[in-house]
């Protein structure tokens, strides 16, 4: 079993309140859930109205499949015009990890 986690630090465009932030982040989270078999949530920068940390995780028997899914999730977020992807960080857990 392989588990991959992806942290996406994004800068939001023309957002001036936490309410507007939620309106911008929710559709991205929903689209990631709908298009890919992943767990996803807003996981950080909750008190900043122009920044969001989106966490994505995937589990599979094959490490390459997890890699492909996380790559696709990163591309989807990077391609959103209303967001600027500042950084993407990955973490892995595999059968050799204790």
CATH of the domain at 85: 3.30.70.1120
Domain assignment present for residue 71? The answer is yes
Q: Report how far residue 70's alpha carbon sits from residue 17's, in angstroms, rounded to the nearest whole number.
A: 29
Residue 77: how many other CB atoms lie within 10 Å: 21
Q: Specify the pTM.
A: 0.89
Contacts of 66 (CB under 8 A, 6+ apart): 2, 3, 4, 58, 59, 60, 92
21-76 residue pLDDT tens: 898 899 999 999 999 999 999 988 888 889 999 999 999 999 999 999 999 999 99
Q: Is the pLDDT of residue 98 over 80?
A: no
| Residue pair 21/15 in contact by the 8 Å Cβ criterion | yes
Residue 20 structural domain? 2-93
Question: What letter does residue 5 receive in the DSSP assignment?
Answer: E
Instruction: Say how many domains are in the chain.
Output: 1
Domain assignment present for residue 98? The answer is no
What does the pLDDT average to over 3-31? 92
């Amino acid at each position: 079993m392989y588990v991959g986690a992806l942290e996406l630090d994004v800068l939001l465009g023309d957002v001036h309140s936490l309410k507007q932030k939620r309106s911008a982040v929710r559709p991205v989270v929903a689209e990631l859930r709908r298009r890919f078999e992943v767990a996803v949530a807003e996981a950080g920068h909750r008190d900043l109205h122009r920044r969001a940390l989106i966490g994505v995780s995937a589990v599979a028997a094959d490490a390459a499949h997890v890699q492909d899914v996380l790559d696709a999730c990163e591309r989807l977020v990077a391609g959103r015009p209303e967001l600027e992807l500042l950084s993407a960080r990955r973490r892995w857990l595999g059968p050799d990890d204790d």
